[in-house]
Amino acid sequence: MRVAMISEHASPLAALGGVDAGGQNAHVAELAGALAAAGHQVRVYTRRDSDDLPTVTPMGERLDVVHVPAGPATVLPKDELLPFMGAFAEWLADDWRTEWRPDVAHAHFWMSGLAAVTAGRRCDVPVLQTYHALGSVKRRHQGLADTSPPRRVAYERELGRAVDRVIVQCRDEVRELLRLGVPRSSMRLVPSGVNVERFRPDGPAVPRDGRLTRILTVARLVERKGVEDLVRALPAVPNAELVVVGGPLDGDLASKLRRVAVRCGVADRVELAGAVPSHEMPLWYRSADIVAATPWYEPFGLTVIEAMACGVPVVASAVGGLADTVVEGVTGDLVPARDPARLAVALRRLAADDVRRLSYSAAAVDRAVHSYSWPRIADRLADVYASIAGVTVESSREAVA
Domain ranges of the chain: 2-193+373-400, 213-372
pTM: 0.86
For the domain bounded by 2-193+373-400, which CATH number is listed? 3.40.50.2000
Q: Is 145 exposed, middle or buried (0-12, 13-18, 19+ CB in 10 A)?
A: exposed
Say if residues 327 and 364 touch (Cβ distance below 8 Å). no
The CATH H-level superfamily of 213-372 is Glycogen Phosphorylase B; (3.40.50.2000)
d(CA 368, CA 375): 12
State residue 202's pLDDT score.
96
Task: Tell me if 2-193+373-400 shares its fold with 213-372.
Answer: yes
- Residue 188: strand pairing partners: 167
- Beta carbons within 8 Å of 124's beta carbon, 6+ residues apart: none
Bridging pattern class, strands 56-60 and 63-68: antiparallel
> What pLDDT was estimated at residue 114?
98
Q: In the chain, how many H helices and how many E strands? A: 15, 14
- Spans of the chain below 50 pLDDT: 17-20, 393-401
Q: How far is Cα 82 from Cα 205, in angstroms, rounded to an integer? A: 41
pLDDT at 26: 86
